Structure 1
Amino acid sequence: MEAASKRGVLNHLSLLEVQARSRKTRPRQRSRVEELNAKVAALTEQRDRLKAEIHTHQKLKESMDKRDKGEDEEMDEDSENSKLLRLMARHSQLKDLLQAHDIIGGYNVIKTLEREGVCVSLATAYDGVYLETYNMEIDLKRKLRISRHNIPPFIPVSSLAEQYDMHTDIRTFLDVLSQHLNAFAGRKQQLKLLKELHTSVEVMESNVLCSILVMMFIVPTTKMAVLCTLDYSDHTRCLPTRVQLDCEEKTLPDSPKWKKNCSLLMEVPVHKALDTMRKMETIV
């Protein structure tokens, strides 16, 4: 009897354990079912959206094909279909422009009307001030080709396009071209500020690229004139790569004071360097 009683108790405990496990697994099964149902609903919604987009694009294509063939489609301009087609056409155009904007690294691009190409705008700035903007039209018919531009002739556009292989890496080409244009704009702006802020410094010579600048300033103690030549041989930078001093006193260029001034002119924009030299009473 005792053995039978023990077996009855054990069987009852086993039954309770099975029921407890069953309760634990049911919520899991229910949550899994809910998760699958949510996934099905999301996929169904995505399918319906894609179907609607395909249907709209088909209508847009049919409308454009009829227009290209010269067929007039009878459609009220204020109808829902007409508004939808215009909206889709605008959306497609904006997507193309954004894609082009991303591909070429953020430059402003507009599609040309006369030819199969795009017009790229390259803005220049110096010290937080926007300066000139240059435009370049690129033909896209067969392979990339620069058809026209208003970039100054002393900027080697064709050579840069060939050197940096515009056909395979247009972003690098545009980056280097932008460096040339911004450096030129910066040198030109520095020359303008020099003439406006330092009337006692005489500009003796400069060129259209602003890659050479010869100026004369007066030493206050001796009233001696000093010729200073700034050579901007790196056309992608606003700072000179070489500074040369010429004056009657041959030892002046090698003095520690003027060596420091030469280093200053190579590290700081010329109009700001002259400010410092004037405060130190090096020049008038």
Structure 2
Amino acid sequence: MEGTSTKGGVLSLLSLLEVQARSRRHVPPQRSRVKELRAEAEALRVRREQLKTEIQTHQSLQRLRTSLDRQSTHDEEEEEEEEEEEEMDEDSENSQLLKLMARHTRVKDLLLAHHLIGGYDIVKTRHGKGVCVSVATAYEGVCLETYNLEMDLKPTLRICRHNVPPFVPLSSLAEQGDMQTDIRAFLETLSQHLNAFAGRKQQLKLVKEQHKTIEVMESNALCSILVLMFTVPKTKTAILCTLNYSDHTACLPTRVQFECDVKEILESSEWRKNCSLLMETPLHKALMTMKKMGNIV
């Protein structure tokens, strides 16, 4: 009897311990889940506050951007701009920082637009009804003339004013480049023509400055035809050189022709090399090489 009672007590104790163990296994997961939910709720509250702050900052930046855009286009609403800026000063302790951020984003947008348009300077005119595009020219790292085109945006893109030289076929370039659908292609073609013209004009200027012994007999406004007079040192023979630039998008001639009373000179290998040199090298540099070789005075 005593053994049976002891055995029953042990079994009862084991059963009780098993029940307690099961209860302990179930309670911690429930508490852990509650903690997870509370942590998620707290994270959502923090994210909500962050979004509120971002929205307020974005709205403030938009107001400042609008104010800056109005200033850049000289809009006649200065009083309204001042009221907006004063309101910003009162509502936000970080108004100066916001103004800097607004200017920064505006500059980034302008740089992006500058890149998309191909690197050309573009400015809104007539309160956004038109734009002015500037095409700069340069040769051998030297900035030269800048040409401007003012365009109407509506009802269609149309050039209304410009200072492009009349011998540049602006209208045909606009038609060929389909300015309505691809303004960048049109501007690239126009830039090629203007830079080539500026380069040819600059070469002629350098020839006159650096080569006083060479006489410029003839040149046209487009600098597409140039006639020079050379003198051969040994025989003092005069040679007439005509350079034809039929490719108006290039700075190098497409054809070089010599005229001289002494045909033997032109048939020599030296002058055949001079012909190739003039077609492959900028004019002022080619003449310098010809002088160093003793072919011209």
After TM superposition, the structure 1 stretch with the greater mean CA deviation from structure 2, 91-100 or 169-178, is 91-100
Partner of 2:21: none
Residues 1:124 and 2:133 are matched in the alignment: no
The within-5 A match list for 1:17-56 is: 45-46=50-51, 48-50=53-55, 52-54=57-59
For 1:59 and 1:197, locate their aligned partners in 2 and report how far apart those are by CA, in whole Å.
Answer: 54
Q: How high is the TM-score relative to the length of structure 1? A: 0.74
Q: Tell me which of 171, 174, 195 is aligned to 1:158.
A: 171
Shift of 1:178: 0.6
CA contact (8 A) 1:76 1:82 kept: no
AA matched with 1:273: A
AA matched with 1:79: E
The root-mean-square deviation of aligned C-alpha atoms, in Å, is 3.8
For 1:213 and 1:168, locate their aligned partners in 2 and report how far apart those are by CA, in whole Å.
Answer: 37
Shift of 1:254: 2.7
Q: Tell me which of 259, 263, 273 is aligned to 1:246.
A: 259
What is the identity percentage for the equivalent residue pairs of Structure 1 and Structure 2?
A: 60
Partner of 1:185: 198
Find the residue that maps to 1:251 and give its secondary structure: helix
For 2:64 and 2:242, locate their aligned partners in 1 and report how far apart those are by CA, in whole Å.
Answer: 68
Q: Tell me which of 78, 83, 86 is aligned to 1:79.
A: 86
Q: How high is the TM-score relative to the length of structure 2? A: 0.71
Partner of 1:255: 268
Shift of 1:165: 0.6
Shift of 1:97: 3.6
For 1:128 and 1:181, locate their aligned partners in 2 and report how far apart those are by CA, in whole Å.
Answer: 15
Partner of 2:119: 106
Query: 1:55-79 CA deviation, whole Å, 9 max, x = no partner?
Result: 7758998xx9xxx9x9x86975762
Structure 2 gaps of 5+ residues are 1-35
Structure 1 gaps of 5+ residues are 1-29
Residues 1:212 and 2:219 are matched in the alignment: no
AA matched with 1:269: P
AA matched with 1:50: I
In the alignment of these two chains, the number of paired residues is 248
Which of 1 and 2 has greater Rg?
2
CA contact (8 A) 1:75 1:82 kept: no
For 2:43 and 2:230, locate their aligned partners in 1 and report how far apart those are by CA, in whole Å.
Answer: 79
Counterparts in 2 of 1:40 and 1:268: CA distance versus 1, 3 Å: farther
AA matched with 2:276: S
AA matched with 2:88: N
Shift of 1:173: 0.9
Partner of 1:236: 249
